[in-house]
A = this chain, B = another copy of it.
């Protein structure tokens, strides 16, 4: 770490993960294992995954581990797990997001907690990356509903525009980096259809996370060094390997003296 100019407060990072996506009798995700490793939990709100009971239980689990909670609203497409683009209007998106944040907020209040952030799920997130109007729609909801909520968006090519939206609506934006995804030279994600899109080597993934946190830069798939400024790192809990990666990333960060903390504490 010699030579890395780490100022106080710069060596903090948030780790987030999508959890609370089980539904009824259906279990998905190793929530019990991944929640102790992260600092911010994105909790499904019942549209693409999650249900009232799961929401309550996931908040309790997050609370137990001192993890901040956020809404993870998606499209009303349970059968598609919210992963399919739906050409909903911005009005529909605002309504869907409002509904889902509200539902989760009630469970948070019931447990004396408060929502920290909102991170769109799946296709809604991906569509937003191609349509600033969607980020703005979510920002509008947050600004009216609870100005303290942080909008989580991708630390990608639209970073500056999204930042401006946040400023315009007077809300904080938390930018996220994907630990296990390759990036193009322009800072966008390499499409999953391309070879090398997902980084399967855990050591490599943990190292680039560390580099991103310490140096604000990563090596893109084309070999270029690109700047990436992120507040939170997305890790997964879908399967045992994902959990191991999350653990490795966490341990790497801690060993390097980086403090893992909910983004609400430093944004």
A residues apposed to B, CB below 8 Å: 22-28, 46, 49, 51-53, 55-56, 76-81, 83-88, 91-92, 95-96, 98-107, 109-110, 123, 141, 144-146
Give A197 Cβ to nearest chain B Cβ, in Å.
Answer: 18
Distance between Cα atoms of A109 and B115 in the complex (Å): 15
Q: How many copies does the complex hold?
A: 4
Residues in B with CB closer than 8 Å to A85 are 85-87
Distance between Cα atoms of A76 and B46 in the complex (Å): 12
Cβ of B107 and Cβ of A23 under 8 Å apart?
Answer: no
The 6 closest A-B pairs by CB, nearest first: A102-B106, A52-B95, A26-B26, A25-B81, A52-B99, A103-B103
Contact of A76 with B79 at beta-carbon distance under 8 Å, contacts A25-B28, A110-B144, A110-B145 already known:
yes
A-B contact pairs, 11 of them (CB 8 A): A27-B28, A52-B95, A52-B98, A53-B95, A55-B95, A77-B77, A77-B86, A101-B106, A102-B102, A103-B103, A110-B144
Residues in B with CB closer than 8 Å to A22 are 26
Nearest-CB residue, chain B, relative to A112:
B144
Give A81 Cβ to nearest chain B Cβ, in Å.
Answer: 4
Distance between Cα atoms of A241 and B23 in the complex (Å): 23
- Among A46, A106, A107, the most chain B Cβ lie within 10 Å of the Cβ of A106
> Among the listed B56, B77, B141, which residue makes an inter-chain contact with A98, where contact means beta carbons less than 8 Å apart?
B56
